[in-house]
Amino acid sequence: MGPAIEASIRRRVRLAAAEAVLREGGVVRIHGPDHPAVDFIALDGAGTAAALAFARSSGPTIRMVLTGARARALGLDAGSAVCVALAVPSSGGTQLLETLAGMPASSRRPIGLPTLVVEPATPAEAAAIDIAKRASLLPVLMVVPGSSRQADAVVEISKDDIDTDPMDAPLVPIVQADLPISLTETARVVAFRAPDVAYEHVALVVGKLDGVSAPLVRLHSECMTGDVFGSLRCDCGPQLQAALSRMAQDGAGVLLYLRQEGRGIGLTNKLRAYRLQEMGLDTLDANTHLGFEQDERDFRTAARMLQALGLHQVRLLTNNPEKVHTLGRHGVTVTERVPLSIAANRHNLRYLQTKRQRAGHLGLPAVNDEEAG
């Protein structure tokens, strides 16, 4: 094993340990030769009371780090910043922290929110936010200067650590097996593993790809509520089945099942977004109110999976132009975009309308007053 691989493994072990500590409500320290040390704790892991007690140890004003998306949802002037810091009076108590961390907010500042100065987050703080996202926690942290006290986990970072692209990690097929399904008995499943995550992405290969220059391909992001429980709030489950049915009819195809639940924010946060949607927000605004981007998914992984399967040209089953563009930028040519339209129901009309009008999706059912009734 070479020095570069050993260094990569050590970094990934440190990050995995930090994610686990944050989820348990512990303190993580980030330091390195290029940045002063900071200790941080996640409100979502520790709970508001414990996070407030931790932050108060540094004085009457506490430093809260959150995403620019969350700050803008609160009506704060964060410009186009990806990550910002707020100086928050500790006297505000847990209610203020909870309001800042994730309660639904309009485009105006909520009643009772004090005047807050938005400051740039440091590189170390931005890296800490990334760790919270990797742990599927709300990206809201309490930060204090690094001290001599013992943190629960220590993550040493440098500029190279912060700039490392997760797509640099190898993604390789680990095992494959025949998997007859209800739509076709000629299918096999292939599991892909990357060292930087604790789960596998999966490819379901339908039929025989030999001699097929551009097979049908579907990039399907995991959706437990739709795929498993048959949720009517989205079109994920029906799209999954429709894609497999089309591949079975064609005699060949590949469905990539990508572990990017809730547009990449994780199952728990997706359910939080559901609650915000019940309060009137649409799908995209619900994600940004929680502090995430409108869509946190990364389809570069799909391109790497297809290339590992020997596929460089595909006919893509999708209504999402971003999938087409991403595959093209990363070495997989989309020779044809094949629409995948599913009938609407009264529970997902707004969801489909949002995808069409705000996310740029194509070929979706029109929404009219008769359907809404």
Q: For residue 169, is pLDDT > 80?
A: no
Q: How far is CA 337 from the centre of its chain?
A: 25
Give the residue with greater pLDDT, 124 vs 157.
124
What percentage of the chain exceeds 70 in pLDDT? 89
Q: Give the Cα separation of 58 and 62 in Å (integer).
A: 7
Which pLDDT tens digit goes with each residue over 19-75? Answer: 999 999 999 998 877 778 889 999 999 998 899 888 888 778 889 999 999 999 888
- Say what the pLDDT of residue 248 is: 95
The residues carrying an active-site annotation are 295, 297
Task: Identify the band that residue 371 occupies on the pLDDT scale cut at 50, 70 and 90.
Answer: very low
The radius of gyration computed from the CA coordinates of the chain, to the nearest angstrom, equals 22
Which residues touch 60 (CB under 8 Å, ≥6 apart)? 89, 90, 91
- Say what the pLDDT of residue 106 is: 44
Q: For residue 105, is pLDDT > 50?
A: no
- Say what the pLDDT of residue 348 is: 80
Q: For residue 101, is pLDDT > 90?
A: no
- Please compute the mean of the pLDDT values over residues 133-142 and round it to a whole number: 94
Task: Identify the band that residue 314 occupies on the pLDDT scale cut at 50, 70 and 90.
Answer: very high
- Say what the pLDDT of residue 196 is: 67
Task: Identify the band that residue 369 occupies on the pLDDT scale cut at 50, 70 and 90.
Answer: very low
Q: What are residue 108's phi and psi, to 5 degrees?
A: -95, 160
Q: What are residue 217's phi and psi, to 5 degrees?
A: -135, 140
What percentage of the chain exceeds 90 in pLDDT? 56
- Say what the pLDDT of residue 164 is: 65
For the chain, how many residues are written?
A: 373
Give the residue with greater pLDDT, 115 vs 130.
130
Cα 111 to Cα 96, 99, 100, 107: the distances in Å are 11, 10, 12, 12
- Please compute the mean of the pLDDT values over residues 241-270 and round it to a whole number: 95
Which among 153, 172, 188 is positioned nearest to 45, based on CA atoms?
Answer: 153
Q: For residue 111, is pLDDT > 60?
A: no
Which residues touch 128 (CB under 8 Å, ≥6 apart)? 28, 30, 38, 40, 65, 141, 143
Q: Give the Cα separation of 217 and 184 in Å (integer).
A: 16
- Say what the pLDDT of residue 133 is: 94
- Please compute the mean of the pLDDT values over residues 275-293 and round it to a whole number: 91
Q: Give the Cα separation of 148 and 168 in Å (integer).
A: 34
- Say what the pLDDT of residue 112 is: 64
What amino acid is encoded at 32 in this protein?
A: G
Which pLDDT tens digit goes with each residue over 174-195? Answer: 999 999 999 999 999 999 987 6
Q: For residue 338, is pLDDT > 50?
A: yes
Task: Identify the band that residue 160 occupies on the pLDDT scale cut at 50, 70 and 90.
Answer: low
Give the residue with greater pLDDT, 127 vs 205.
205
Which among 341, 342, 347, 343 is positioned nearest to 372, based on CA atoms?
Answer: 347
- Say what the pLDDT of residue 103 is: 55
Mean pLDDT, the chain, as a whole number? 86
Q: Give the Cα separation of 46 and 38 in Å (integer).
A: 17
- Please compute the mean of the pLDDT values over residues 320-330 and round it to a whole number: 93
Q: What are residue 253's phi and psi, to 5 degrees?
A: 170, 170
Q: Give the Cα separation of 279 and 281 in Å (integer).
A: 6
Residue/partner pairs of 296-300 with CB below 8 Å, 24 or more apart: 296/133, 296/260, 296/263, 296/264, 296/265, 297/221, 297/258, 297/260, 297/263, 297/264, 298/166, 298/167, 298/260, 298/264, 299/219, 299/258, 299/323, 299/326, 299/327, 300/167, 300/326, 300/330
